[in-house]
Structure 1
Amino acid sequence: MSIKLIAADMDGTLLSSRKQLPKGFFPLVRTLKKIGVRFAPASGRQYYNLYEQFGEIADELMYISENGGMVCDGRKIVSFEAMPQQLVCAAVELARGLPNVHAIASMRDGAAYEDDDPVFVENMAMYYARRKKVPDLLEAVQQEPVCKVALFCKNAAETNVLPYYRQMFDDKLQVALSGADWVDLMRLGLSKGVAVGVMCDNLHITSAQCMAFGDYLNDVELLRSVGESYAMANAHERLKKVAKHVCPSNDEDGVCRTIRSVLAVE
C-alpha cells in the first residue's frame, strides 16, 4: 500500500478521552517521515492550538485546522479560505439573538470573541491558543478576513444552534455540527476533505495515497476524500457507514495501532 499522507481528527480520534496523545506517537511520526509518509492532524481546532500540542515534532507535521479553513505545513500557511464578510457579520448578529449562544471568529493570526461567559471561556481555551477579547465582535470581523465562525452552546448545539444556522445559511455557508457544544461555519464547499485535496496538490500525490481517521459527523468529508478511511470504534454510527474500516477506539490507541499494522512500521 503506497500511503503518503495520513490525516487524523484530534478529539475522539487521535486524542484519548483524557485529551492525551498516544504513547509513542512522536517516534511513530518520525518513522513515517523516514519512509516518506506525512502526518496531518485534522481538526476544527485553531492552527495555533494544534501546533502547541505537538512540541518537538510540530514543524514536521502538516495541519488541517478550522475544519479545513486553514492548511499549514509546519509554520507555513498553505491556504486560508476566507468567508464572505457579509455572511460573517450576519452569523455574529444571529448568535447575539440566540440564548446562551456565543461566537468566536478565526482569523490568520488568532481568534476574536466578545462574550465573557465563564463556561464559554473555559471551553474556548481548550481549542484556541491564540485569542483576544474584543469590545465589539461585529466590528472586529469587518477589519480582517475570517475563515471560520464557531458557535458555542453547552450540550445543546444540535438543538439550539444548528437548526437556526441551517435555516439561514444552508445554501450560503458550510454549516457543521462539531460536537455536543459547537457548530462551525465555513465558506461554502469547504471541509476537511477539501483540505486533504489541497495537501495532495501540495505534495503531488493522489487521494488514493491517503489514509484518514475520524469519529464524528464533521469527519464525513475527510473519510470520503481518501483511499483508506477508518472510523474509530467510538465513532458516530453514521460515520461508521461512511468509512471503509472500523479501528480500535481512541482510548485503545486505535490510530497508532492501525498505522503500525497496515504500514508495517514500529
Structure 2
Amino acid sequence: MTIKLIAADMDGTLLTSDGQLPKGLFPLIHTLWARGVRFAPASGRQYYTLYEQFGEIADELMYISENGAVVADGAEIISFEAMPVEEVCRAVETVRQLPGVYAIVSARHGGFYEDDADPAFMKSMAIYSTRRTKVPDLLEFVRREPVCKIAVFCEGRAEQVLLPAFGSFAQSSQLAVSGADWMDLMRPGMNKGLALHAMCRKLGIAPEECMAFGDYLNDLELLQAAGESYAMASGHEALKAAAKHIAPGNDEDGVCRTIRDVFGIDKC
C-alpha cells in the first residue's frame, strides 16, 4: 500500500545526539510534499517548539506534540485534549512532595512552571518548551487554565523514581516515560498512536498508509498504529522488539536514509 503520511519522533530518532535536525531533511520533505506525502514530527515537545524548529517548511508539516495531546496541521491546531482539573491538581501536589522533582504543565498558550531552582531542569525544559512562563503558584494556575499534559522531571531517574511515585495515577491518567529524565501525564488513553489516527481522519487515509519511526517507550503506540513501523537501532530494546523494521540509528541519519530507500529518492 502507498505511504501517504510519515511520522517521526524527535529526540533519539530524527534528531542527532547533539539535538540537530539531519542535513538534507528539508529538501527531502519538499520532495515528499510534491509527491503528496505528508511529514509529521511526533514528540513530547511543545507544539510551538516544533513549529519554530522547522522554520521555512513549518506550514508543510503536520504535528503530533505533547505526546499526542496536541495535534496540528501547519498553524492550525486540530485537537487539544485537556486533563481533568482534579487530576492536574493532584499531580502538582505530588511533585511538591518529592525532592529533586519538578514539573511544567502544558496549556493552550505554552508551558508553565513554578520552581526554577534546579539548573538541569531549567536547561532541559528550555529544549522542549519554547514558550514557557514562571508563575508564582502552579496549583492556582492549573485550577483556572486547561492543561493537556504535565511533564515531570527527575534528572536521570525517570523510570526509577517517577514511575513508582506516580504509580497511583496509572488508573486515572496516561503515563509515558519519554526519556531518562522525563515522565508525562495525560488524559487516559492519550498517546502518539491516537494522534496518528486523528491525522488519518483529517487526511482521509488509512493507518496502513502510514510509516512511523521511534526510539523510546512513549513511541510504542505510534509504531503500533502505523502500517510500517521502524524502531531505531539505537533505541529501547522493548521498542525494537515491537517494531516491524529496524532503522539505522539517529546519528546515522536513520530516518532520512530509510525514507529515501523506501521512496527511491536520491540524496539531496
CA deviations on 1:187-213 (whole Å, 9 max, x unpaired) are 000000000000000000000000000
CA shift at 1:40, angstroms? 0.2
RMSD: 0.7
Partner residue in 1 for 2:39: 39
Give matches, 1:231-246, under 5 Å: 231-246=231-246
Give matches, 1:166-177, under 5 Å: 166=167, 168-177=168-177
CA shift at 1:114, angstroms? 0.2
**Which shows bigger deviation, 95-104 or 115-124?**
115-124
Q: Which runs of 5+ in 1 are unaligned?
A: none
Partner residue in 2 for 1:149: 150
Identity %: 65
Partner residue in 1 for 2:122: 121
Give matches, 1:1-266, under 5 Å: 1-117=1-117, 118-166=119-167, 168-266=168-266
Q: 1: distance between equivalents of 2:79 and 2:265?
A: 31
Q: 2: distance between equivalents of 1:207 and 1:147?
A: 24
> What is the TM-score when the length of structure 1 is the normalising length?
0.98
CA deviations on 1:29-87 (whole Å, 9 max, x unpaired) are 01001111000000000001111111100111000000001000111000000001100
> What is the TM-score when the length of structure 2 is the normalising length?
0.98
Q: 2: distance between equivalents of 1:115 and 1:260?
A: 44
CA shift at 1:251, angstroms? 0.4
> Match of 2:145, SS?
coil
CA shift at 1:89, angstroms? 0.3
The AA in structure 1 aligned to 2:137 is D
CA deviations on 1:134-155 (whole Å, 9 max, x unpaired) are 0000011111110000000111
The AA in structure 2 aligned to 1:223 is L
The AA in structure 2 aligned to 1:233 is A
> Match of 1:142, SS?
helix
The AA in structure 1 aligned to 2:60 is E
The AA in structure 2 aligned to 1:64 is I
Which stretches of structure 1, 4 residues or more, deviate above 2 A after TM superposition? none
Number of residue pairs matched by the alignment: 265
Q: 2: distance between equivalents of 1:29 and 1:109?
A: 28
